[in-house]
Amino acid sequence: ENLVLILDFGSQYTHLITRRVRQLGVLSLCVSGTAPLSSLAGLRPRAVVLSGGPHSVHAEGAPSFPEGFLDFAAGAGAHVLGVCYGMQLLVQTLGGAVEPGVRQEYGDMEVEVTAPSSALYGEQGKRQSVWMSHGDEVVRLPEGFEVVARSVQGAIAAIEHREKRFYGLQYHPEVTHSPQGMETLRHFLFDVCGIKADWKMQDVLDEEIKTIKSMVGPDEHVICALSGGVDSTVAATLVHNAIGDRLHCVFVDNGLLRYKEKERVMSTFNSDLHLPVTCIDASEKFLTELKGVKDPEMKRKIIGREFIVVFDEFAHMLEQKIGKRPEYLVQGTLYPDVIESCPPPGSGRTHSHTIKSHHNVGGLPKDMKLKLIEPLKLLFKDEVRKLGSILNVPESFLKRHPFPGPGLAVRVIGDVTAGNALEVLRQVDEIFIQAIKDAGLYDEIWQAFAVFLPVQTVGVQGDQRTHSHVVALRAITSEDGMTANWYDFERPFLVDVVKKICNNVRGVNRVVLDVTSKPPATVEWE
């Protein structure tokens, strides 16, 4: 009843709007801005946010909302807020004018509220610093609109048409560089739209359990793919709460796990989570299929395919044991996985593209026999951790750093079976992570890992010339994995880690540090 719909027009910040709204206790869903109107059927949003985007509204093929959208919003009684490109699109569609700006505005900018009483700003004050990112600007408003704020350069920064419930911001309120942006969003949602903050993790849990019970028949069985990570563990615990012992968990050793990962994870499952888990060693099969493969997308798809083969075989084994074949497969797919793996529906890839195929989203074969249950696919990582806490998953498990489904395959650049790359990487990664834990930094970092590079360099070790491998270290801070900053280690820590790696891992004579944020890079190297 208090849904906020985000129409995505390709901005790198769209997911942030989704998150900011949720942080205010309101359910928000992100869909393609160009999706057909039929895909919105049945939704009754209280507010719709039109996101920013990299295009000019004048560019050929520039994305636009579907015909009839404004009537849909009016019929739902929804307030519409255009942000940056979204504001320009709203203005142009309604008969206003947008032109290339005489002075383009990028980065920090002061704006001044010019209207004596503004629905958008309420009592926020006359002046605030915001984050601009636009080359075009609105030069003529549609009939009935009012300018309520301008930049210090004179550009229109905010507009509103209270009667028709249309609003626009030429800047990004969702980013931290707009310090009062959250207050603007809060005021818009609660005071302007009259939305209630009624979205809570307990409600999500209750709804998901209800959904699973209605989906899975009383005599049907379900397989859950456990990776040892937070996502699959929370998903398994949730489904176990819904259907009990008809859930059969399987942990697959695909030959791409970290140092002693299988032993550590199985011990945790048995002692702390009390989940019934079968461990399957399929390492030889996976590595055989990956031999000689260097393309990262191909590696992900091979791994996704082989996982399904293992699950199908496990389902057949269970059928012989319990007399009934499992029909469903549970996976811990998250919202960022969905966003990164698939272009928005109906986009025709005109304004968004696949960043990478996550093995449990874009890497699944079309002829898969098992039907998917993905209870977390609309949640971000921090929301999953909150859900796990409600489900009494141990805190130590919830704080584990994310580990990619394809495992070390995306941390060995190129052929994962070449030489002893996997073994070298396991040793380096173990030293790095243990050093982080020993320094008390583990909980400050979202994710940390090592990468094996297909590069050899000249070095001097033990008074002898060496020609050995290069490894990279990466550590980031993040809220949800959609954007990230590299973690700034103190120099003594790095000196100590590099010394331990070069002295203890045979075949490594050079260590480099990845200091790239996301964007422009992704978290993983492949």
- 174 part of the active site: yes
Both tokens of 231, joined, read 């996502």
Q: How far, in Å, are 24, 388, 477 from residue 197 at the CA level?
A: 7, 21, 28
- 316 part of the active site: no
Could you give the count of Cα atoms lying within 13 Å of 132 in the half-sphere of its Cβ? 25
To the question of whether residue 14 is assigned a binding role by annotation, the answer is no
To the question of whether residue 232 is assigned a binding role by annotation, the answer is yes
To the question of whether residue 229 is assigned a binding role by annotation, the answer is yes
Which among 15, 30, 79, 84 is annotated as catalytic?
A: 84
Q: What are phi and psi of 254, to 5 degrees?
A: -95, 10
User: Read out DSSP for 483-506?
Assistant: SBEE----HHHHHHHHHHHHHHST
To the question of whether residue 52 is assigned a binding role by annotation, the answer is no
The residue length of the chain stands at: 526
> Closest by alpha carbon to 364, among 406, 335, 325, 401?
406
- 172 part of the active site: yes
C-beta of residue 241 within 8 angstroms of C-beta of residue 391: yes
To the question of whether residue 191 is assigned a binding role by annotation, the answer is no
Which among 79, 172, 240, 351 is annotated as catalytic?
A: 172
Encode 181-211: b = buried (16+ Cβ within 10 Å), e = exposed.
bbbbbbbbbeebbebeeebebeebbeebbee
Q: How many helices (H) and strands (E) does the chain have?
A: 14, 18
Opening angle at CA 214, ends 209 and 219, nearest 5: 105
To the question of whether residue 230 is assigned a binding role by annotation, the answer is yes
- 1 burial type by CB count under 10 A (0-12 exposed, 13-18 middle, 19+ buried): exposed
User: Read out DSSP for 81-97?
Assistant: EEETHHHHHHHHHTT-E
Q: Where are the beta strands (DSSP E) in 277-385?
A: 277-281, 328-330, 371-373
At a CB cut-off of 8 Å and minimum separation 6, what does 503 contact? Answer: none
Which among 137, 174, 208, 261 is annotated as catalytic?
A: 174
Identify the sign of the CA torsion 339, 340, 341, 342.
positive
Please tell me the distance from the alpha carbon of residue 22 to that of residue 384, in angstroms, as a whole number: 13
Catalytic residues: 84, 172, 174
Annotated binding site: 227-233
**What residue numbers does the annotated binding site for ATP cover?**
227-233
